[in-house]
Structure 1
Protein backbone atom coordinates (compact mmCIF):
# COMPACT_ATOMS: atom_id res chain seq x y z
CA UNK A 1 0.00 0.00 0.00
CA UNK A 2 1.22 3.48 -0.87
CA UNK A 3 1.08 6.55 1.28
CA UNK A 4 -1.84 9.00 1.47
CA UNK A 5 -2.47 10.89 -1.76
CA UNK A 6 -0.65 14.24 -1.98
CA UNK A 7 -1.13 16.40 -5.09
CA UNK A 8 2.16 18.20 -4.47
CA UNK A 9 4.02 15.03 -5.43
CA UNK A 10 2.45 15.14 -8.89
CA UNK A 11 3.99 18.56 -9.48
CA UNK A 12 7.27 17.38 -8.01
CA UNK A 13 7.42 14.23 -10.17
CA UNK A 14 6.67 15.88 -13.53
CA UNK A 15 10.10 17.56 -14.00
CA UNK A 16 11.86 14.43 -12.76
CA UNK A 17 10.04 12.31 -15.34
CA UNK A 18 10.62 14.89 -18.07
CA UNK A 19 14.36 14.54 -17.53
CA UNK A 20 13.98 11.09 -19.14
CA UNK A 21 11.72 12.25 -21.95
CA UNK A 22 14.61 12.42 -24.42
CA UNK A 23 15.14 8.67 -24.05
CA UNK A 24 11.47 7.96 -24.75
CA UNK A 25 11.46 10.24 -27.79
CA UNK A 26 14.72 8.74 -29.05
CA UNK A 27 13.17 5.26 -28.95
CA UNK A 28 10.13 6.50 -30.87
CA UNK A 29 12.13 8.45 -33.48
CA UNK A 30 14.72 5.73 -34.09
CA UNK A 31 12.13 2.96 -34.35
CA UNK A 32 9.96 4.95 -36.76
CA UNK A 33 12.91 5.86 -39.02
CA UNK A 34 14.13 2.26 -39.17
CA UNK A 35 10.52 1.07 -39.39
CA UNK A 36 9.91 3.19 -42.49
CA UNK A 37 12.88 1.57 -44.23
CA UNK A 38 11.66 -1.89 -43.23
CA UNK A 39 8.09 -1.03 -44.20
CA UNK A 40 9.13 0.06 -47.69
CA UNK A 41 11.15 -3.11 -48.25
CA UNK A 42 8.28 -5.27 -47.02
CA UNK A 43 5.58 -3.41 -48.98
CA UNK A 44 7.30 -3.54 -52.38
CA UNK A 45 7.05 -7.34 -52.90
CA UNK A 46 3.34 -7.18 -52.09
CA UNK A 47 2.71 -4.19 -54.36
CA UNK A 48 4.53 -5.79 -57.28
CA UNK A 49 3.48 -9.41 -56.55
CA UNK A 50 6.98 -10.87 -56.27
CA UNK A 51 6.10 -14.53 -55.48
CA UNK A 52 8.53 -15.77 -52.80
CA UNK A 53 9.26 -12.37 -51.24
CA UNK A 54 5.54 -11.59 -51.13
CA UNK A 55 4.89 -14.68 -49.04
CA UNK A 56 7.78 -13.89 -46.68
CA UNK A 57 6.44 -10.35 -46.29
CA UNK A 58 2.97 -11.67 -45.47
CA UNK A 59 4.35 -13.95 -42.75
CA UNK A 60 6.43 -11.13 -41.27
CA UNK A 61 3.49 -8.71 -41.23
CA UNK A 62 1.11 -11.31 -39.78
CA UNK A 63 3.53 -12.21 -36.99
CA UNK A 64 4.35 -8.69 -35.82
CA UNK A 65 0.75 -7.50 -36.11
CA UNK A 66 -0.64 -10.62 -34.48
CA UNK A 67 1.55 -10.91 -31.37
CA UNK A 68 1.81 -8.61 -28.32
CA UNK A 69 4.71 -6.19 -28.44
CA UNK A 70 5.71 -7.22 -24.92
CA UNK A 71 6.28 -10.78 -26.15
CA UNK A 72 8.23 -9.39 -29.11
CA UNK A 73 10.46 -7.45 -26.71
CA UNK A 74 11.33 -10.63 -24.81
CA UNK A 75 11.84 -12.64 -28.00
CA UNK A 76 14.26 -10.08 -29.43
CA UNK A 77 16.06 -9.41 -26.14
CA UNK A 78 16.66 -13.08 -25.34
CA UNK A 79 16.47 -14.62 -28.81
CA UNK A 80 18.71 -12.40 -30.94
CA UNK A 81 21.83 -12.87 -28.73
CA UNK A 82 21.32 -16.65 -28.89
CA UNK A 83 21.13 -16.54 -32.68
CA UNK A 84 24.32 -14.49 -32.89
CA UNK A 85 26.09 -16.94 -30.58
CA UNK A 86 25.70 -19.52 -33.35
CA UNK A 87 28.05 -17.45 -35.52
CA UNK A 88 30.41 -16.59 -32.67
CA UNK A 89 29.19 -13.05 -31.95
CA UNK A 90 28.73 -12.07 -28.30
CA UNK A 91 25.98 -9.49 -27.68
CA UNK A 92 25.95 -9.80 -23.90
CA UNK A 93 27.31 -6.27 -23.45
CA UNK A 94 24.97 -4.65 -25.96
CA UNK A 95 22.90 -1.81 -24.50
CA UNK A 96 19.30 -2.78 -23.81
CA UNK A 97 18.11 0.21 -25.87
CA UNK A 98 19.45 -1.50 -29.01
CA UNK A 99 17.09 -4.43 -28.47
CA UNK A 100 14.22 -2.11 -27.57
CA UNK A 101 14.66 -0.03 -30.73
CA UNK A 102 15.09 -3.16 -32.86
CA UNK A 103 11.83 -4.58 -31.51
CA UNK A 104 9.85 -1.40 -32.03
CA UNK A 105 11.36 -1.01 -35.51
CA UNK A 106 10.27 -4.49 -36.56
CA UNK A 107 6.86 -3.91 -35.00
CA UNK A 108 6.45 -0.53 -36.71
CA UNK A 109 7.70 -1.86 -40.03
CA UNK A 110 4.82 -4.33 -40.22
CA UNK A 111 2.21 -1.62 -39.74
CA UNK A 112 3.99 0.90 -41.96
CA UNK A 113 4.18 -1.62 -44.81
CA UNK A 114 0.42 -2.11 -44.62
CA UNK A 115 -0.12 1.64 -44.52
CA UNK A 116 2.07 2.14 -47.59
CA UNK A 117 0.36 -0.66 -49.48
CA UNK A 118 -3.13 0.59 -48.64
CA UNK A 119 -2.26 4.20 -49.46
CA UNK A 120 -0.74 3.35 -52.84
CA UNK A 121 -3.68 1.11 -53.74
CA UNK A 122 -6.09 3.88 -52.75
CA UNK A 123 -4.78 6.15 -55.52
CA UNK A 124 -7.00 5.97 -58.61
CA UNK A 125 -5.31 3.73 -61.19
CA UNK A 126 -6.83 5.85 -63.92
CA UNK A 127 -4.46 8.65 -62.97
CA UNK A 128 -1.48 6.37 -63.46
CA UNK A 129 -2.77 5.24 -66.84
CA UNK A 130 -3.29 8.88 -67.82
CA UNK A 131 0.32 9.61 -66.79
CA UNK A 132 1.54 6.80 -69.04
CA UNK A 133 -0.65 8.13 -71.85
CA UNK A 134 1.09 11.51 -71.81
CA UNK A 135 4.53 9.90 -71.92
CA UNK A 136 5.56 9.61 -68.27
CA UNK A 137 7.80 6.72 -67.26
CA UNK A 138 6.86 4.38 -64.43
CA UNK A 139 9.20 6.23 -62.09
CA UNK A 140 7.79 9.63 -63.05
CA UNK A 141 4.21 8.43 -62.64
CA UNK A 142 4.99 7.06 -59.20
CA UNK A 143 6.92 10.07 -57.89
CA UNK A 144 4.72 12.77 -59.43
CA UNK A 145 1.25 11.20 -59.30
CA UNK A 146 1.08 8.29 -56.86
CA UNK A 147 3.55 9.27 -54.13
CA UNK A 148 2.19 12.77 -53.29
CA UNK A 149 -1.35 11.42 -52.93
CA UNK A 150 -0.24 8.31 -51.06
CA UNK A 151 1.68 10.44 -48.56
CA UNK A 152 -1.38 12.55 -47.84
CA UNK A 153 -3.58 9.48 -47.48
CA UNK A 154 -1.13 7.73 -45.15
CA UNK A 155 -0.62 10.65 -42.74
CA UNK A 156 -3.46 9.66 -40.34
CA UNK A 157 -2.26 6.05 -40.24
CA UNK A 158 1.33 7.16 -39.69
CA UNK A 159 0.18 9.56 -36.96
CA UNK A 160 -1.70 6.81 -35.16
CA UNK A 161 1.37 4.59 -35.33
CA UNK A 162 3.70 7.25 -33.91
CA UNK A 163 1.32 7.96 -31.04
CA UNK A 164 0.85 4.24 -30.39
CA UNK A 165 4.63 3.77 -30.36
CA UNK A 166 4.98 6.63 -27.91
CA UNK A 167 2.60 4.92 -25.50
CA UNK A 168 4.07 1.48 -26.13
CA UNK A 169 7.51 2.69 -25.03
CA UNK A 170 6.12 2.37 -21.51
CA UNK A 171 6.76 -1.38 -21.89
CA UNK A 172 10.50 -0.88 -22.45
CA UNK A 173 11.11 -0.72 -18.70
CA UNK A 174 10.26 -4.45 -18.56
CA UNK A 175 13.72 -5.03 -20.07
CA UNK A 176 15.35 -2.56 -17.70
CA UNK A 177 15.39 0.45 -20.04
CA UNK A 178 15.31 3.59 -17.92
CA UNK A 179 12.87 5.81 -19.82
CA UNK A 180 9.96 7.74 -18.30
CA UNK A 181 7.98 4.71 -17.17
CA UNK A 182 11.08 3.09 -15.71
CA UNK A 183 11.83 6.28 -13.81
CA UNK A 184 8.23 6.42 -12.55
CA UNK A 185 8.63 2.93 -11.12
CA UNK A 186 11.75 4.04 -9.30
CA UNK A 187 10.11 7.20 -7.94
CA UNK A 188 7.07 5.25 -6.81
CA UNK A 189 9.18 2.66 -5.07
CA UNK A 190 11.29 5.24 -3.24
CA UNK A 191 8.46 7.56 -2.17
CA UNK A 192 5.58 5.05 -2.01
CA UNK A 193 3.42 7.65 -3.81
CA UNK A 194 2.55 5.45 -6.78
CA UNK A 195 -0.74 7.13 -7.71
CA UNK A 196 0.90 10.55 -7.91
CA UNK A 197 3.68 9.08 -10.05
CA UNK A 198 1.28 7.55 -12.54
CA UNK A 199 -0.85 10.70 -12.69
CA UNK A 200 2.25 12.74 -13.52
CA UNK A 201 3.30 10.17 -16.13
CA UNK A 202 -0.15 10.05 -17.74
CA UNK A 203 -0.28 13.84 -17.98
CA UNK A 204 3.04 13.91 -19.83
CA UNK A 205 1.94 11.21 -22.28
CA UNK A 206 -1.40 12.97 -22.82
CA UNK A 207 0.19 16.34 -23.61
CA UNK A 208 2.75 14.86 -25.99
CA UNK A 209 0.16 12.68 -27.76
CA UNK A 210 -2.15 15.66 -28.23
CA UNK A 211 0.69 17.79 -29.59
CA UNK A 212 1.67 15.05 -32.04
CA UNK A 213 -1.91 14.60 -33.22
CA UNK A 214 -2.30 18.32 -33.91
CA UNK A 215 1.06 18.40 -35.71
CA UNK A 216 0.11 15.54 -38.00
CA UNK A 217 -3.29 17.11 -38.65
CA UNK A 218 -1.51 20.28 -39.78
CA UNK A 219 0.79 18.24 -42.04
CA UNK A 220 -2.18 16.47 -43.56
CA UNK A 221 -3.92 19.76 -44.26
CA UNK A 222 -0.80 21.05 -45.99
CA UNK A 223 -0.53 17.94 -48.14
CA UNK A 224 -4.20 18.20 -49.09
CA UNK A 225 -4.19 21.93 -49.73
CA UNK A 226 -4.30 21.39 -53.50
CA UNK A 227 -7.66 19.62 -53.27
CA UNK A 228 -10.91 21.48 -53.59
CA UNK A 229 -12.38 22.17 -50.18
CA UNK A 230 -16.15 21.97 -49.84
CA UNK A 231 -16.27 23.85 -46.57
CA UNK A 232 -14.09 25.46 -43.92
CA UNK A 233 -14.20 22.32 -41.77
CA UNK A 234 -13.58 19.87 -44.62
CA UNK A 235 -9.88 19.21 -43.82
CA UNK A 236 -10.73 18.38 -40.22
CA UNK A 237 -13.50 16.01 -41.22
CA UNK A 238 -11.27 14.31 -43.72
CA UNK A 239 -8.45 14.19 -41.22
CA UNK A 240 -8.57 11.34 -38.75
CA UNK A 241 -12.06 10.20 -39.69
CA UNK A 242 -12.65 9.58 -43.37
CA UNK A 243 -9.22 8.18 -44.18
CA UNK A 244 -9.55 5.73 -41.28
CA UNK A 245 -12.86 4.47 -42.67
CA UNK A 246 -11.37 4.11 -46.13
CA UNK A 247 -8.04 2.50 -45.28
CA UNK A 248 -8.24 0.68 -41.96
CA UNK A 249 -10.47 -2.15 -43.29
CA UNK A 250 -7.93 -2.98 -45.99
CA UNK A 251 -5.07 -2.78 -43.49
CA UNK A 252 -6.84 -5.11 -41.08
CA UNK A 253 -7.54 -7.58 -43.87
CA UNK A 254 -3.87 -7.50 -44.92
CA UNK A 255 -4.84 -8.68 -48.39
Structure 2
Protein backbone atom coordinates (compact mmCIF):
# COMPACT_ATOMS: atom_id res chain seq x y z
CA UNK A 1 0.00 0.00 0.00
CA UNK A 2 1.28 3.46 -0.92
CA UNK A 3 0.03 6.93 -0.10
CA UNK A 4 -1.09 9.11 -2.98
CA UNK A 5 0.42 12.41 -1.80
CA UNK A 6 -1.00 14.55 -4.65
CA UNK A 7 -4.51 13.28 -3.86
CA UNK A 8 -4.25 14.68 -0.32
CA UNK A 9 -4.24 18.17 -1.84
CA UNK A 10 -7.12 17.27 -4.16
CA UNK A 11 -9.11 15.93 -1.21
CA UNK A 12 -8.17 19.00 0.86
CA UNK A 13 -9.65 21.36 -1.75
CA UNK A 14 -12.87 19.34 -1.89
CA UNK A 15 -13.26 18.85 1.86
CA UNK A 16 -12.58 22.51 2.72
CA UNK A 17 -15.84 23.39 0.93
CA UNK A 18 -17.69 21.96 3.93
CA UNK A 19 -15.91 24.32 6.34
CA UNK A 20 -18.82 26.83 6.58
CA UNK A 21 -21.17 24.10 7.85
CA UNK A 22 -18.60 22.99 10.43
CA UNK A 23 -18.16 26.56 11.66
CA UNK A 24 -21.93 27.04 11.89
CA UNK A 25 -22.25 23.79 13.86
CA UNK A 26 -19.53 25.02 16.21
CA UNK A 27 -20.10 28.75 16.66
CA UNK A 28 -23.92 28.94 16.75
CA UNK A 29 -24.32 26.30 19.51
CA UNK A 30 -21.61 27.99 21.57
CA UNK A 31 -23.24 31.42 21.27
CA UNK A 32 -26.68 30.05 22.16
CA UNK A 33 -25.11 27.82 24.80
CA UNK A 34 -23.37 30.82 26.35
CA UNK A 35 -26.71 32.54 26.89
CA UNK A 36 -28.22 29.35 28.30
CA UNK A 37 -25.16 28.75 30.45
CA UNK A 38 -25.23 32.27 31.84
CA UNK A 39 -28.84 31.89 32.92
CA UNK A 40 -28.32 28.43 34.39
CA UNK A 41 -25.18 29.58 36.22
CA UNK A 42 -27.04 32.41 37.97
CA UNK A 43 -29.94 30.12 38.85
CA UNK A 44 -27.53 27.68 40.49
CA UNK A 45 -25.44 30.35 42.24
CA UNK A 46 -28.43 32.14 43.74
CA UNK A 47 -30.46 28.93 44.14
CA UNK A 48 -33.50 30.47 42.50
CA UNK A 49 -36.70 29.02 43.86
CA UNK A 50 -38.50 26.48 41.61
CA UNK A 51 -35.68 26.60 39.03
CA UNK A 52 -32.68 25.42 41.06
CA UNK A 53 -33.41 21.70 40.92
CA UNK A 54 -34.38 21.89 37.26
CA UNK A 55 -31.08 23.64 36.46
CA UNK A 56 -29.13 21.00 38.39
CA UNK A 57 -30.94 18.22 36.55
CA UNK A 58 -30.32 19.86 33.18
CA UNK A 59 -26.58 20.20 33.80
CA UNK A 60 -26.30 16.70 35.23
CA UNK A 61 -28.14 15.10 32.31
CA UNK A 62 -26.36 16.87 29.45
CA UNK A 63 -22.92 16.52 31.02
CA UNK A 64 -23.57 12.92 32.02
CA UNK A 65 -24.70 11.61 28.63
CA UNK A 66 -22.91 11.57 25.24
CA UNK A 67 -23.64 14.32 22.74
CA UNK A 68 -24.32 11.76 20.02
CA UNK A 69 -27.27 10.59 22.11
CA UNK A 70 -28.59 14.17 22.38
CA UNK A 71 -28.45 14.52 18.60
CA UNK A 72 -30.21 11.22 18.00
CA UNK A 73 -32.95 11.85 20.58
CA UNK A 74 -33.70 15.30 19.16
CA UNK A 75 -33.34 14.15 15.55
CA UNK A 76 -35.96 11.44 16.04
CA UNK A 77 -37.92 12.96 18.92
CA UNK A 78 -38.65 16.49 17.69
CA UNK A 79 -40.20 15.36 14.37
CA UNK A 80 -42.36 12.89 16.30
CA UNK A 81 -43.61 15.66 18.61
CA UNK A 82 -44.13 18.10 15.73
CA UNK A 83 -46.21 15.58 13.79
CA UNK A 84 -48.27 14.63 16.84
CA UNK A 85 -48.99 18.26 17.78
CA UNK A 86 -49.71 19.17 14.16
CA UNK A 87 -52.13 16.29 13.84
CA UNK A 88 -53.90 16.96 17.14
CA UNK A 89 -54.42 20.69 16.58
CA UNK A 90 -54.78 20.43 12.78
CA UNK A 91 -51.78 22.61 12.11
CA UNK A 92 -50.05 22.84 8.77
CA UNK A 93 -46.71 21.60 10.10
CA UNK A 94 -44.69 18.82 8.51
CA UNK A 95 -41.54 17.66 10.27
CA UNK A 96 -39.94 16.55 7.01
CA UNK A 97 -39.73 20.20 5.95
CA UNK A 98 -37.57 21.11 8.96
CA UNK A 99 -33.87 21.36 7.97
CA UNK A 100 -31.77 18.61 9.54
CA UNK A 101 -29.17 21.13 10.63
CA UNK A 102 -31.73 22.69 12.98
CA UNK A 103 -31.98 19.46 14.99
CA UNK A 104 -28.21 19.27 15.28
CA UNK A 105 -27.98 22.91 16.36
CA UNK A 106 -30.62 22.41 19.06
CA UNK A 107 -28.83 19.35 20.44
CA UNK A 108 -25.40 20.98 20.41
CA UNK A 109 -26.73 24.22 21.92
CA UNK A 110 -28.31 22.40 24.85
CA UNK A 111 -25.12 20.44 25.45
CA UNK A 112 -22.98 23.57 25.17
CA UNK A 113 -25.24 25.36 27.66
CA UNK A 114 -24.62 22.68 30.27
CA UNK A 115 -20.84 22.74 29.87
CA UNK A 116 -20.57 26.52 29.67
CA UNK A 117 -22.80 26.99 32.73
CA UNK A 118 -20.22 25.16 34.84
CA UNK A 119 -17.38 27.25 33.43
CA UNK A 120 -19.25 30.50 34.04
CA UNK A 121 -20.37 29.42 37.51
CA UNK A 122 -16.86 28.43 38.60
CA UNK A 123 -15.50 31.68 37.16
CA UNK A 124 -17.98 33.80 39.12
CA UNK A 125 -17.32 31.89 42.33
CA UNK A 126 -13.57 32.38 41.90
CA UNK A 127 -13.94 36.17 42.29
CA UNK A 128 -13.40 37.10 45.94
CA UNK A 129 -16.41 38.29 47.91
CA UNK A 130 -14.30 41.19 49.16
CA UNK A 131 -14.58 42.82 45.75
CA UNK A 132 -18.35 42.60 45.89
CA UNK A 133 -18.37 44.15 49.35
CA UNK A 134 -16.12 46.96 48.11
CA UNK A 135 -18.49 47.56 45.20
CA UNK A 136 -21.48 47.73 47.55
CA UNK A 137 -19.59 50.16 49.78
CA UNK A 138 -19.29 52.69 46.96
CA UNK A 139 -22.98 52.51 46.18
CA UNK A 140 -23.17 49.90 43.44
CA UNK A 141 -26.26 47.72 43.20
CA UNK A 142 -25.93 43.94 43.05
CA UNK A 143 -26.56 44.05 39.29
CA UNK A 144 -23.95 46.77 38.72
CA UNK A 145 -21.38 44.95 40.82
CA UNK A 146 -21.98 41.73 38.91
CA UNK A 147 -21.78 43.33 35.46
CA UNK A 148 -18.91 45.75 36.12
CA UNK A 149 -16.78 43.88 38.65
CA UNK A 150 -17.49 40.16 38.79
CA UNK A 151 -18.37 39.06 35.26
CA UNK A 152 -15.39 40.71 33.49
CA UNK A 153 -12.99 38.95 35.85
CA UNK A 154 -14.87 35.66 35.77
CA UNK A 155 -15.01 35.53 31.97
CA UNK A 156 -11.37 36.62 31.63
CA UNK A 157 -10.20 33.87 33.97
CA UNK A 158 -12.28 31.34 32.04
CA UNK A 159 -10.73 32.00 28.61
CA UNK A 160 -8.67 28.74 28.65
CA UNK A 161 -11.79 26.75 29.55
CA UNK A 162 -13.82 28.48 26.83
CA UNK A 163 -11.07 27.61 24.37
CA UNK A 164 -11.17 23.94 25.36
CA UNK A 165 -14.93 23.86 24.91
CA UNK A 166 -14.66 25.57 21.52
CA UNK A 167 -12.08 23.05 20.30
CA UNK A 168 -14.14 20.20 21.74
CA UNK A 169 -17.29 21.30 19.91
CA UNK A 170 -15.31 21.91 16.72
CA UNK A 171 -14.42 18.24 16.78
CA UNK A 172 -17.83 17.15 18.04
CA UNK A 173 -19.48 18.77 15.02
CA UNK A 174 -18.25 15.75 13.04
CA UNK A 175 -21.04 13.70 14.64
CA UNK A 176 -23.51 15.58 12.44
CA UNK A 177 -22.49 13.33 9.56
CA UNK A 178 -24.45 10.53 11.22
CA UNK A 179 -27.67 12.38 10.42
CA UNK A 180 -26.54 13.19 6.87
CA UNK A 181 -25.24 16.70 7.53
CA UNK A 182 -22.21 17.23 5.30
CA UNK A 183 -19.54 18.89 7.43
CA UNK A 184 -15.77 18.30 7.23
CA UNK A 185 -15.76 14.67 8.34
CA UNK A 186 -18.79 13.91 6.20
CA UNK A 187 -17.14 15.50 3.18
CA UNK A 188 -13.98 13.50 3.87
CA UNK A 189 -15.98 10.29 4.02
CA UNK A 190 -17.71 11.09 0.73
CA UNK A 191 -14.42 11.91 -1.01
CA UNK A 192 -12.81 8.76 0.40
CA UNK A 193 -15.70 6.51 -0.62
CA UNK A 194 -15.90 7.98 -4.11
CA UNK A 195 -12.18 7.63 -4.82
CA UNK A 196 -11.40 4.67 -2.55
CA UNK A 197 -8.59 6.68 -0.94
CA UNK A 198 -9.62 6.72 2.70
CA UNK A 199 -6.20 7.38 4.24
CA UNK A 200 -5.46 10.38 2.03
CA UNK A 201 -8.92 11.89 2.51
CA UNK A 202 -8.82 11.67 6.29
CA UNK A 203 -5.25 12.98 6.40
CA UNK A 204 -6.56 16.04 4.52
CA UNK A 205 -9.48 16.38 6.97
CA UNK A 206 -7.11 16.02 9.90
CA UNK A 207 -4.91 18.83 8.56
CA UNK A 208 -7.95 21.12 8.33
CA UNK A 209 -9.09 20.33 11.89
CA UNK A 210 -5.55 20.77 13.18
CA UNK A 211 -5.19 24.10 11.41
CA UNK A 212 -8.48 25.37 12.84
CA UNK A 213 -7.43 24.28 16.33
CA UNK A 214 -4.11 26.11 16.02
CA UNK A 215 -5.94 29.29 14.93
CA UNK A 216 -8.36 29.07 17.87
CA UNK A 217 -5.52 28.48 20.33
CA UNK A 218 -3.63 31.43 18.86
CA UNK A 219 -6.62 33.74 19.28
CA UNK A 220 -7.04 32.47 22.84
CA UNK A 221 -3.39 33.19 23.61
CA UNK A 222 -3.70 36.76 22.31
CA UNK A 223 -6.88 37.32 24.34
CA UNK A 224 -5.23 36.00 27.51
CA UNK A 225 -2.20 38.21 26.90
CA UNK A 226 -4.36 41.30 26.39
CA UNK A 227 -6.52 40.57 29.43
CA UNK A 228 -3.45 39.96 31.61
CA UNK A 229 -1.83 43.21 30.43
CA UNK A 230 -5.04 45.15 31.06
CA UNK A 231 -5.51 43.73 34.54
CA UNK A 232 -1.96 44.75 35.42
CA UNK A 233 -2.45 48.24 34.04
CA UNK A 234 -0.01 47.75 31.20
CA UNK A 235 -0.29 47.59 27.45
CA UNK A 236 -0.31 44.53 25.23
TM-score tier, shorter chain, comes to over 0.9
Instruction: Answer yes or no: is 1:219 the counterpart of 2:223.
Output: yes
- Residue equivalent to 2:26: 28
Q: 2:37 aligns with which of 36, 39, 52?
A: 39
Give the CA deviation at 1:226.
2.9
What is the RMSD computed on CA atoms of the aligned residues? 1.6
Please give the residue correspondences for 1:187-226 in structure 2 after superposition, counting only pairs within 5 Å.
187-226=191-230
- Residue equivalent to 2:68: 70
Q: Quick one: distance in 2 between partners of 1:123 and 1:102? A: 32
Instruction: Answer yes or no: is 1:48 the counterpart of 2:52.
Output: no
Instruction: Answer yes or no: is 1:100 the counterpart of 2:104.
Output: yes
Q: Quick one: distance in 2 between partners of 1:38 and 1:86? A: 27
For residues 87-132 of structure 1, the C-alpha deviation after alignment (integer angstroms, 9 at most, x for no partner) is: 2143222111101111110110001111111100000011001111
Q: Are 1:119 and 1:153, in contact at CA under 8 Å, matched by a contact in 2? A: yes
For residues 123-174 of structure 1, the C-alpha deviation after alignment (integer angstroms, 9 at most, x for no partner) is: 0011001111121111221121101101101111111111111011111100
Q: Are 1:4 and 1:193, in contact at CA under 8 Å, matched by a contact in 2? A: no
Q: What is the total number of aligned residue pairs between the two structures?
A: 228
TM-score, length-scaled by structure 1: 0.85
Instruction: Answer yes or no: is 1:177 the counterpart of 2:181.
Output: yes
- Residue equivalent to 1:84: 82
Give the CA deviation at 1:5.
2.3
Q: 1:7 aligns with which of 5, 8, 22?
A: 5
Give the CA deviation at 1:4.
4.2
Please give the residue correspondences for 1:118-137 in structure 2 after superposition, counting only pairs within 5 Å.
118-137=122-141
For residues 187-242 of structure 1, the C-alpha deviation after alignment (integer angstroms, 9 at most, x for no partner) is: 1111110000110000100010011011012112212223349xxxxx9xxxxxxx
- Residue equivalent to 1:113: 117
Q: Quick one: distance in 1 between partners of 2:122 and 2:95? A: 37
- Residue equivalent to 2:89: none
Q: Quick one: distance in 2 between partners of 1:99 and 1:227? A: 41
For residues 61-90 of structure 1, the C-alpha deviation after alignment (integer angstroms, 9 at most, x for no partner) is: 111111111111101100111122332143
Q: Quick one: distance in 1 between partners of 2:129 and 2:94? A: 50
